[in-house]
Structure formats: C-alpha cells, structure tokens
Amino acid sequence: MSVPVFTHPACLQHDPGPEHPETPARLGVLLERARAEPGIQVRQADAAPLEPLLAVHPRAYLDHLAAVSARGGGPLFLDTVANQASWAAALGAVGAVLAAVEHAHTGQGNAFAAVRPPGHHALASRAMGFCLVANAVAAARHAQRQGRERVLIVDWDVHHGNGTQALVEHDPSIRYVSLHQHPWYPGTGMADERGVGNVFNVPRGPGAPPARYVDDLWAAIAAATAGWTPDLVLVSAGFDAMRGDPLGGFTLEPEHYADLTRRLRERLPDAPLVGLLEGGYVPARLADGVLAHLLALA
C-alpha cells in the first residue's frame, strides 16, 4: 500500500531567518527524499479555511498572525519569528494536516502531513517554540466533526508539546501521550500533569539507551489505551529525539520510529494513523526518521 504525504508549497516559504534552526531546508530535503522513494506519493493539499483554526484559536489571535505577515513579518514571541509568508504557511500546513485526516477517515489508509511551521507548542493565543498554530489539535477537532469521537495524540518530539496539552487537557475525548526530555524546553510535561486523566507524560533525561525511551513511551501508550480504543491516532512526529540533534539529547535512530509505528498499528488495528511533522533540526537525519515512519505506515 502506498502512503500519501500531504504538503503545501507555502510551507517552504515560511522563513524565521538565516540563523534560525527551523529552516525551510528541513522540509525541502524531506520532500526530495520522499519523492524519490517508491511507494510514497507526495500530494499538494489546499490551504485550510479559517473555520478549522477557529475551533482551536480565537479570531483575534489569527487576525494578529495574518497582520504580522501582511506587514512583512517580525517576532511573535522570543524564538518564534514570522516572515511575509508565515500566515500562508500556517494555513497551508493545517490544510495538509486536514487532507491527511480526510484520507485516513474515508478508509483510504494511513497518511502523513509534511508541514512547517510545527504546531505542538502553540497555545490558544500565543505562538511559541517555532509554532504558530496547533496543527495536531486542529486535526483532532476536524476528525471529531467527522464522527471520530475519540482521538489519541502520541507526541514523540524531544520537547514537551505544552500547547497541545493545554488545549486538550480538559477534554476526556482526546488522550495525549508525550515522551520528552526533562529538564528541557519548555519546562512543562511532568508525570503528575494528568489533565482529566487523559494526559500521559513521560519526562526523561538525556543520554539514555534508546530502548529506555522506546519502552517507556510504549508503556504510556499502553496505559492510555487500556480499556479505551481511539477512533484515530495522530502522531506529533518530531525527530529531534534522534541522536545528534542540536536541540535535544536523546539517542533514538530511524528504526526506533519504525518500531513504534508498527506497534501502534498492531495494537490499534481499527484506528487509522496520521503522522504530522513537528521538530527535527538536521535535515538529512530528519528525512531518515520520517522515511522510516512512512515505510512502517505502509
């Protein structure tokens, strides 16, 4: 079975600046590799309308993002910078994520959204951590509108998805599992942060053997799905937990992402799986990790 990779050209135009680690090359290298891989189809999605974003963010915040881009860009919050294309990139990223969800929802198989800017740090009314809008939460809300009531979000980015957690932690219809480095940016994601029993955080220190991270994340996924079967699985697929990433200290390799992907498919065979790109700051290594995930999705 082929796996579609949904993207949007505006995602390559978002550029926080020459010294910023969240570069267009992250996506460019990935798409080049994906197009050369048999069994992977890169598809262009339409940009999202405002409505799916309004299910997550206030209109005033979205208007602010659009206005900053319209005047040529500028800082949004500390490490998070927009340029003139950033608002279009945010809409394009959400459009690609929604297209991947639609593909999975309609029974066509698993899918992946190759997008930037990433989304799991974005709060309801604040950009942060290179993220402008909450891509995974917009995807979950869209799936629920389509009738997939229970959504599992697995976040294996090396940084805790504080934005995702803040947006879903009071909603028992969504369960959030996050493996992340601690102490590390953004300083959230402790194990005792449980939401309404729907949050499963796995904070771990750097430099451990890869099996420790894989096993501990898997134990949290098993706990989250014990007696609770999701209708859709979303993976906030950051690859900055790979060995050698400049923004993390974990030790994972591409085969570990493939293993986790296969385990998810085997444990939850009736729930389609959609991956969406988060972090990963060595473009060639990022592409290696994504391709391992994609081939396991197939």
- Domains contained in the chain, number: 1
Rounded Cα gap, residues 7 and 93, in angstroms: 7
pLDDT score at 258 = 98
Average pLDDT over residues 32-55: 97
pLDDT score at 102 = 98
pLDDT score at 18 = 93
Average pLDDT over residues 58-72: 98
The catalytically annotated residue of 120, 121, 160, 180 is 121
A 10 A CB-CB count for 221 gives 23
Could you read off the pLDDT of 235-268 as tens digits, one per residue?
Answer: 999 999 999 999 999 999 999 999 999 999 999 9
pLDDT band of residue 270 (cuts 50, 70, 90) is very high
pLDDT score at 278 = 98
Distance (Å) of CA 186 to CA 25, 39, 61: 24, 37, 21
Q: Is 121 a known active-site residue?
A: yes
pLDDT score at 5 = 98
Domain that holds residue 155: 3-297
Average pLDDT over residues 127-142: 98
pLDDT band of residue 1 (cuts 50, 70, 90) is confident
Task: Name the nearest CA neighbour of 85 among 103, 69, 64, 66.
Answer: 69
Do the beta carbons of residue 202 and residue 241 sit within 8 Å? no
The mean predicted confidence, pLDDT, of the chain is 98
Token pair, residue 243, equals: 């060995």
pLDDT score at 13 = 98
CATH code for the domain in which residue 289 is found: 3.40.800.20
pLDDT score at 36 = 96
Q: What residue spans of the chain are helical by DSSP H?
A: 24-35, 51-54, 59-70, 86-105, 135-145, 162-168, 210-224, 254-267, 283-297
Say yes or no to pLDDT of 178 above 90. Answer: yes
Model confidence, pTM: 0.98
pLDDT score at 2 = 86
